[in-house]
Homo-oligomer: A and B are copies of this chain.
Amino acid sequence: MTEQNTRLYITVKEFIKQGIEQQRWKEHKRVPSENELVETCKVSRMTARRALDELTEEGVLYRVQGRGTFVAPKKLYSPMLKIRNIAEEIIERGGNYSNELILLQKEQCPTHLLERFELEEGDDIYHSIMVHKDNDKPIQIEQRYVNPKAAPDYLKQDYASITPNVYLSKVAPLTEAEHQIEAREADPFMQVTLKLQDNEPVLCIDRATWSNDTLVSYSQLYHPASRFRITGRFKTEHQLTEL
């Protein structure tokens, strides 16, 4: 059979991923072999194989010739691009997520961003500022400029229920991200909003995200420096810049 619309290898991938999700196959345990998948999923071996291969490439599985295919231990690092959502993160660790929308509007693109967004003087851009909280304690200020071409309905979303991150990754799946991380002096707004101690700096992440070579969003995330850490497996070139 040749039915492209379904894309059988994706179906098989989903089948495996679900099984792992539901703990049917646990870490380091064997998942069905290629031949078993041929039987249960009614596909050819090459199709089953492709599914297992891609999941291996994605770090979900690992394979040992002569023995089988196994569930990889919890991905500490995933080769996929995934920017974690702060709401998810808070919920995952048992917190109580909420947010406060401070600004959400269309405005003229600031001059220093014109070039990055490939816009002309006077062009509009979306701008939002919100504060993310855990148990009503502010933990992140998020200022964000969004490309109207990439996310035309950005202003119409209900950000009480979803974060900008979630919406944006839906309409424009990220393919690239660029970050700058630095510690900065806090301005009075941050000091009040994040309830900083005297002289406590903020840990600032500048993040630009692309979707297929168009800049989707430029955001600045501020955290109380004394309370946060950024962790990651950076498989990339990075560089230290003197200010």
Contacts and interface: CB of A to CB of B under 8 A. Distances in A.
B234 A236 contact: yes
Interface residues of A, number: 50
A22 interface: no
Contacts of A81: 235-237
A119 to B, nearest CB: 21
A168 B84 CA distance: 32
B228 A232 contact: no
Interface string A177-208: 11111111100000000000001010100000
A80 B179 CA distance: 17
Nearest to A177: B234
Copies of this chain, whole number: 2
Contacts of A228: 182, 240-243
A86 B241 CA distance: 10
A237 B229 contact: no
A176 to B, nearest CB: 7
Interface stretch (A25-33, A121-129, A154-162, A219-227): A219-227
A180 B237 contact: no
Given A77-B178, A181-B181, A201-B183, A231 B238 contact: yes
Interface string A62-95: 0000000000000111111111101001000100
